[in-house]
Each structure stands twice: as C-alpha cells, then as structure tokens.
Structure 1
C-alpha cells in the first residue's frame, strides 16, 4: 500500500491518472450517470467531460504560468473568468445540437441553461486544478528537501574527511609516546592501531553503523590510551546498553570528545583523570566525559575535531540531541544526549 502511495506521489503519469479519475468521478456523480442505459449517451457524456478537461488543461498550461512564474494574480483571475465564460458558451451551444435531443444526459431545463454550464466549467476546473497544484507543490517541496538532504550529506562527508586525518594524527602521537616508554610492546600496539584504522576506513562511507561496533571502537581506543598513561592517570570507562544490537549511530561521532579528554586531561604529571560513562536507555544515548584540566598546559589545540563533530551533530540529528560543555578551572565536562535511530543494519 505504501509503495502504491509513493508511486502516486512521485510519478507524474500516476498523478495525471489520479486527477482524471477523481474529476471524472465527481463529474459522473453530479450528472447522475447511473440512469444512463445507452452507449450513445455515455459517449456524449465522455465528450462533454473531455471539453471540460481540455479547458482545465488550457488554464493549467497557458494561464497558471502567469500566476506562478510572472506573479500576476489579477491578470490570471481575469483570464480565467474569460476562459470559463467562453467554454460555457461553447457547451451551451452544444446543448442545442440534435445529437443531444435523444441523449439521456442534460434533459432537464436547468441542465441546458448557461448558468449550469458556467457552474460545470468552474467546478470541473477547481476539481482538476486543485490536485494538480497540490502535486506540483509536493514535487517542489520534495525536490527542495532532497537537495537539502544531499547538501547536508555532502557537508557531513566533508567533515568526516577532515576528521579522519585529525584522528590518525592523534592516534600516531599516542603510539609514538608508548613506543618511547615501552618499546617491547610496540608491535602489539601497532596491531591495535591497525584495527582502529580498519574500522575507521570501513565506516567512512556509511551514514550509520551498529552502535555496538562504534562502542567497540571506542573501547579499543580507551585501552590504547590506558597503555600510554594508566600508570600516572585515573582512567574509568563504563558502558551500559539496555538492548543489544537495537540501535545505530553515525560513525566516528563520539570519539572526538573522548580524544579531547585524553589529549588535555592526561598531559599533567599528577592528579589527572579521565572518566567516561556511556549509557543507552529507550534509545537515548547519554555520553558523559569528564577530564582534569592542568594548571599549565603545553598542548596546542585547534579544536578541529570538536568543531567538526558538533557540526555533524547538527546536520545528522537536528533537534534530536543536546550538548552541554562546562569548562571549569579544574575540570572539563562534556554531557551529550542523542536520540538514536533504531535498527542494527549498517547503511551506506
């Protein structure tokens, strides 16, 4: 049923057919076609409708552009009235022909009057133009919506493109720091970094990924950072999900906040910490990241990752997220809530 409705709304030929069916049905009901018993009466009735339909199409292609393209409503109204008058005279003249004398349609005196023809032409015009205009505005709205979606997706892809080398740069900095302190563990850590890079590469062209895959990626990154700073930093990572494999999320969306916490929260020698809590209940993801802020930091930050991530949040989730960031003298607190989409399938 939904497919039929979508085809009707998107296909111009289906729309034309629907308009004809709707207007012809109204036309037959108005003229009591159920009392017709001869083929000749039916053919004359169809001819009468065709004239009404031609008038509506004439208005549609000749007069409507004056209203929509030239924005001259008064001229359109004037020409429409003239057109209705001319076609009403034409139909009224047809009523005087011999072929209508034996027709079972239009036998009443009021049906042969000019006022009845004027009302028929006007009513049919409204019945035909109204759905046509509705379909026209629907197509215009859909085209504009599709353009906005395409533009937003292009922006998201652009932001991801900028974010990927940023993440890669930070990850190799982490690997470099570990290799200086624990060179014997470098080979294992390279494999972990390889897994991170593989996920990043595979998820780049996808709009959404399974939430568990994204959280596994985050967990691997946290474990990598623990290898580097766990001896001198308090690191806590907790994650709770109410339903397994039930949600999907835009890939590489949360990592920038966690990266930022490790970058700035672990640069001090003493009393540094990074606390990460992720929970998902009834589709609402809640990310809370708190890290210590050193009195003097030598870390230079461009905030590219955070800026791009916030821009992606706006483009991808619109009003379905809230983000609060508190930057106190001693702590930096990120509190993010996202209403996730359902479904475990990964989209391209």
Structure 2
C-alpha cells in the first residue's frame, strides 16, 4: 500500500518551506508593489532558510545529537553572526534602507543578527517536530513489527503444546476404551485443523473459537468420565452480533484447569462459565485443588505463560486477569474486550 502524500518526505519539506516563507514575509506584503520587491523578499528568505538548513544538516547531527552542547552553541552563534552579516549586506543594498537610516551600522547589523536568530527558531521548530514525529513513527512501527513477530512465535509454540496434551489424553482413553479412539482421533483432527487455520489470523470469529473450546471440553469429558464433574456454561446477551477475539487464548486457561485440577483423582471438578455482554467477554474457571498440592504451587506452564504474554501484547491494559487459589480450589477470572469490525479477522 502506497504512502499518503502527507507521509512523503518531499511534501513535508515543501509544506514547511511554503509556510515559513508566508510567515516570514507576512508583515511586508503591503510593501510588495512590483515583482522586483518580491524577488528581493525571496532572496532574503533564501538566506535565512540557508542559515537554518546549515544548522540543521551540519551542526545538529555533528554536535547536538552527539551531546556536544557547548560546541553546538558556540558554532551556532558564529553561524548566526555570519548569516546576519550576509543579510545585513543584502538588506542594506537592496531593501528598505530608508526604514533604518537613523540607526548606526552596528545597530543595523545587530538587528539582522536578531532576525537570523528568530528565523532560525521559526524554521527549525517544524523540522525538529517533523523529525521527532518520524522517529516516533519508526519506533512504533518497529515495536509493532516486533510484537507481531513475537506473537507468531508464541502461536507457533501453542500447536505442539496443544498436540502434546491432546495425544496424552487420547493415550489415557485408549487404555480403558480403545474402541472409542477412532472417533476421538477424528475429533482431534478437527481441533488441529482449526488451530492451523486460526494460526494465520490475529483475530478470529468468537463463535469459531467457542466451538473449538467446546470440542476440547468434550474430549476431556470422554477422557475423565465420572472421575471429574465438568460444568460448562455459555451465556451470550448480545446475540446476532459478530465478535472477534485473539485465537487460542482462552483455551490455555481451560487446558491448565484440566491438567492441574484433575490429576486422575476421583471427585475432582472443573467449572467453566463464559459470559458475553456489552462488547466484553468474561470467562471464569474454577477447578479442584488436588490433595497434596499447596495453594502457592506454580500452576503455570508453557501454554499459560504464552497466554499471559499474548494478553499483554494484544490487549495491553484493556484486560483484567484475576487468579486465586486456596486449599480446595483454583480460580481464573479473565475479562477481555471484544472486537466488532469485520477486518479484524
């Protein structure tokens, strides 16, 4: 996609020059009675413009940006006195000599030095602001590119992590119910297909993401059977509205609940509640705390660490994540903003 004309460097430079010329000659427009007067004004402007550009392209990068502040100030003063002298000579011989005829030559010279100082400040300011804007834009673009690359790396780690956990589940099922393995493999293939397809997108349809989650929960129900009480509830108060969410973000917390909350112990439980309202999604997960596991034990694995990191990259400070544990249960409460626009996917 091509740049906007406002982002083109040549247009920015031209715009600054035109605006600087208009402002520098604003109080003299009534004196431009012919083309010769206008030519003289242009010459005077070019002198002050040349002064600002020498300062901008030579003194600023060589001295100020290398933190040689005293040297920059000294050379800037010498340069200003030089261009003040040039302006004085041109102005005295060409333009408005009668307006300052009652002043001494030294006073006339100092007036033109002051004019050079004022014009330097006037012309350098927009260039410096433009430079700061460009540098900030580069930093933002670089940070965005880095974030995107980091997100790709994190997403690429999710596939093998999910695959590892899922096939561990199938292995456990195959030991007790080998006849159900073909159907489970078909179900897993659907989950993996969604993972591969969603991997190419930063945002996916919320309905597709929830279907993926429901498929995973069904797989866990098959594995755990009556040994774990599993409850899943989905409430949508904004039916008919299409929302988008970061893919494979919620599943990490659900996986964590099944992995650490069941431990093949009878009487375990996992409760999952997902509530969509006011362009927000609220997911609350409560799972049992297996006997012998302390409430301060680290429940974080690769998937959960990746999920937490992706939350910071994608949602910054727009989300809320509360994790609590005690001797009986471990809970996660995640609140995220949802995206409406179609281009999110």
When normalised by structure 2's length, the TM-score is 0.87
SS at match of 2:164: helix
Higher RCO (Cα < 8 Å, 6 or more apart):
1
Aligned to 1:294, which of 290, 302, 307?
290
- For residues 252 and 128 of structure 1, what CA distance do their matches in structure 2 show? 52
1:117 counterpart = 2:108: no
Spell out, residue by residue over 1:170-200, the C-alpha distance to the aligned partner (whole angstroms, 9 max, x if none): 1112223333433343333222211110110
Aligned residue for 1:314? 312
- For residues 77 and 272 of structure 2, what CA distance do their matches in structure 1 show? 71
Q: What displacement does 1:235 show?
A: 1.2
Deviates more, 1:62-71 or 1:303-312: 62-71
SS at match of 2:343: coil
SS at match of 1:329: coil
- For residues 222 and 34 of structure 1, what CA distance do their matches in structure 2 show? 81
- For residues 278 and 189 of structure 1, what CA distance do their matches in structure 2 show? 25
- For residues 73 and 280 of structure 2, what CA distance do their matches in structure 1 show? 53
- For residues 220 and 34 of structure 1, what CA distance do their matches in structure 2 show? 80
> Structure 1 stretches (4+) deviating beyond 4 angstroms?
none
8 Å Cα contact 2:44/2:91 also seen in 1: no
Spell out, residue by residue over 1:104-141, the C-alpha distance to the aligned partner (whole angstroms, 9 max, x if none): x6752279933442232222211111011111112222
Aligned residue for 2:171? 176
- For residues 36 and 137 of structure 1, what CA distance do their matches in structure 2 show? 36
- For residues 88 and 111 of structure 1, what CA distance do their matches in structure 2 show? 19
Q: What displacement does 1:245 show?
A: 4.4
Q: What displacement does 1:276 show?
A: 0.4
Aligned residue for 1:51? 47
Aligned residue for 1:281? 277
Q: Which runs of 5+ in 1 are unaligned?
A: none
SS at match of 2:170: helix
- For residues 201 and 245 of structure 1, what CA distance do their matches in structure 2 show? 25
Aligned to 1:13, which of 10, 14, 18?
10
- For residues 277 and 97 of structure 2, what CA distance do their matches in structure 1 show? 68
- For residues 110 and 250 of structure 1, what CA distance do their matches in structure 2 show? 74
- For residues 66 and 169 of structure 1, what CA distance do their matches in structure 2 show? 57
- Cα RMSD (Å): 2.6
Aligned to 1:332, which of 321, 326, 330?
330
Deviates more, 1:288-297 or 1:42-51: 288-297
8 Å Cα contact 1:66/1:75 also seen in 2: no
Equivalences, count: 335
SS at match of 2:201: coil
Q: What displacement does 1:270 show?
A: 2.6
